[in-house]
Each structure stands twice: as structure tokens, then as C-alpha cells.
Copies of this chain bind each other. A is one copy, B any other.
Amino acid sequence: MAAPDATLRGLTGYRIQRAAIRAMARVNAALAPLGLRRSTFSALAVVSDTPGLRQTQLAEALAIERPNLVQIIDDLEAAGLMVRERAEGDRRAYALLPTEAGRAVYARALARLQRAEAALTRGLSPAETQALHRALQIIEDNAGEETGDEIEIPSA
């Protein structure tokens, strides 16, 4: 007996979304004990690896809209993991910096996530995981192409 969603299972978008939901639930579960969630962890990671970058740069790196970053940084500041410092040479901008506690939490969170990752990808060889990442990058790039309001199919 075929699965009721057999047609949908032939769609790459459907596959990606289902995996994303389940994987994110696991990611958030791994991060919760440290008071983090997916979005705050990502921001803390980028700022820890690249201290001093601007909010606009962080938004671009994480591919999210600038207004949505405000609350994320607010949460990290409130938790004492990150600070906004006025940027030199541009009074509009902030330089984002991790605190000492932020760096420590980041290291622990990354270790936990890498363990969760290992469990997520169990059964996939390193080469298969690499191929998966490459395929996802291609899809992300294709989806991000500017094409008006719908992806165009070139004539065959």
C-alpha cells in the first residue's frame, strides 16, 4: 500500500520541509538547556566567530530580514551573551560583540549541536553528508535567484 502522501514525496520541497521541521525540533531541544534556540544560537555563533560585525552584516550572513534581527539581539543582550557597541566612524551602526559568557555558551552549544548532528546524520557516510550539503546549497541558490515572482523554466 503506497503512503497517502506518495505524490508529495516526489517533491523536493516537501522532503526538505519535513526534514527541516523534525531536525529543528531536535536542534532546539539540544539548545534549550543553554537558554538558546536556533535563531539566537546562529546569531551568537556568527558574532563569536566574527566579532565587531554590524547588524546589517549579521542579517545578511544569516539570510534574515533586518527588523527580525532586533529581537534576537535583544534576547542575547538580555541574557548577557552579546553587547551592542556604537561603531567607530558611523554613529548609525553598532558593532556586535560576544561577552565572555557568550563565548563560553557558544562553545558548549556548538559541542551539543555537533553531537545532535551526528545523531541526525547517522546512516549517512561523510561523502553523502557532503553531497547533501552541496545539493542544499544549490537549491538555496536556485530558490534565491531573482526571477520576478515565480521561477521561470527555460524552454526545453
Contacts and interface: CB of A to CB of B under 8 A. Distances in A.
A25 to B, nearest CB: 7
A86 interface: no
A16 B13 contact: no
A4 B58 contact: yes
Q: Is the interface of A mostly helix, strand, loop or mixed?
A: helix
Given A4-B57, A119-B153, A151-B120, A15 B113 contact: no
Q: How many copies of this chain sit in the oligomeric assembly?
A: 2
A131 B124 CA distance: 11
Interface stretch (A43-51, A70-78, A87-95, A97-105): A43-51
Interface residues of A, number: 71
A26 B143 contact: yes
A42 interface: yes
Interface in A57-87: 57-58, 61-63
Contact of A121 (B12, B19, B115, B147): B12
In the A-B complex, list the 7 residue pairs whose CB atoms are closest, starting with the nearest. A119-B151, A22-B143, A20-B20, A4-B61, A19-B136, A132-B135, A15-B136
11 contacts: A11-B113, A12-B129, A12-B132, A13-B26, A13-B113, A15-B133, A19-B20, A29-B149, A30-B150, A123-B138, A124-B139
